[in-house]
Amino acid sequence: DIVLTQSPASLAVSLGQRATISCRASESVDSYGNSFMHWYQQKPGQPPKLLIYRASNLESGIPARFSGSGSRTDFTLTINPVEADDVATYYCQQSNEDPFTFGSGTKLEIK
Amino acid sequence: DVQLQESGPGLVKPSQSLSLTCTVTGYSITSDYAWNWIRQFPGNKLEWMGYISYSGSTSYNPSLKSRISITRDTSKNQFFLQLNSVTTEDTATYYCARWGGNYEHAMDYWGQGTSVTVSS
C-alpha cells in the first residue's frame, strides 16, 4: 500500500497569513502525465470535502485561497490568506493505486 | 444536485454482519463513476474500503477482502456494504462517496456518514 505521511500534525496560523501542509507518498502517485493526489477539508461532524484534485486543480466552488502543488512523491496544500472558516482537519489522498489511501490529517487552528 | 445518504443499524454485535445502505439521488449509479465505502475510525484515521463501479465491477481493500461485499440495487439507485465477522475494531463512522475515475479521480460527493458501534 502507498503510505501518505502528512506534516505537520497540527498547525496554528494567524488570520491573513499563509498555511502550508505537506504530504509525502512512499512511492510515486504519478501516471499518464497526472499526479493522482487530492486534498480534502473536514470540519467536526461533517464528511470530508474535496478541495484540490490531481495535485493542483481547484474543485468547483472552492475559494482561490486554496492551492495545491507537487508531483511524484511530494505535495503541498497552501491556504493563503487563512480565514477563520478554514479551521478544520486537512487530508491528502492518493488514487494512483489500489487500495486508495489517506494521510493521517493536519489540524489547522487560528493563532 | 447529487446527494448520498447512508442508513443502517448503529449498533452491531461482535461476530455478526454489518449491513449499510447508500441511497443516491440526483445521479444514476449505472451512468458513470464508482461508488465507494470509506470509514473513519475514532481518532480520525480514514480507510477506503472498496467500490462498485457503474458497470457493476467491484474493487476491495485487500485488508478487508475476505469479509467485505459491495452490491447494488439499480432499480432503487442504492448500493450496499456488508462486512462480516465484525469486531470492536470495526467501530467507525461509515461514509459512502462517489469517485470519478475518468474525471477528477477524487471523491467529489460524500454522504453525511453513519456511526456504527460494535459492542455486545
CA distances from B13 to B9, B10, B119 (A): 11, 10, 5
State the smallest CA–CA distance between residue A72 and chain B in angstroms: 16
Is A102 in Cβ contact with B97 (below 8 Å)?
no
For the segment A60-83, the average pLDDT, to the nearest whole number, is: 98
Q: What does the pLDDT read at residue B65?
A: 76
Residue B102 has pLDDT above 90, yes or no: no
- Lowest pLDDT segment from A39-43, A46-50, B87-91, B99-103: B99-103
pLDDT band with cut points at 50, 70 and 90 for residue B29: very high
pLDDT band with cut points at 50, 70 and 90 for residue B112: very high
What rounded mean pLDDT belongs to chain B? 96
CA distances from B118 to B18, B23, B69, B111, B115 (A): 9, 23, 18, 21, 10
Residue B48 and residue A91: Cα distance in Å, rounded?
Answer: 13
pLDDT band with cut points at 50, 70 and 90 for residue B101: confident
Which of chain A's residues have a Cβ under 8 Å away from the Cβ of B111? 47
Is B48 in Cβ contact with A102 (below 8 Å)?
yes
Phi-psi region of A28 (alpha: psi -120 to 50; beta: other; left: phi over 0): beta
Contact criterion met (CB below 8 Å) for B102 and B44? no
The beta strands (E) that lie in chain A are given as: 4-7, 10-13, 19-25, 30-31, 34-35, 37-42, 49-53, 57-58, 66-71, 74-79, 88-94, 101-102, 106-110
Which of chain B's residues have a Cβ under 8 Å away from the Cβ of A59? 104, 106, 108
Report residue B78 as a C-alpha cell.
Answer: 442504492
The dihedral of CA B103, B26, B6, B55: what is its sign?
A: negative
**Distance, first Cα to last Cα, chain B:** 39
pLDDT tens readout for residues B37-55: 999 999 999 999 999 999 9
What rounded mean pLDDT belongs to chain A? 97
pLDDT tens readout for residues A10-32: 999 999 999 999 999 999 999 99
pLDDT tens readout for residues B51-90: 999 999 999 999 997 899 999 999 999 999 999 999 999 9
For the segment A74-92, the average pLDDT, to the nearest whole number, is: 98
Residue B103 has pLDDT above 90, yes or no: no
Contact criterion met (CB below 8 Å) for A77 and A23? yes
Percent above pLDDT 90 for chain B: 94
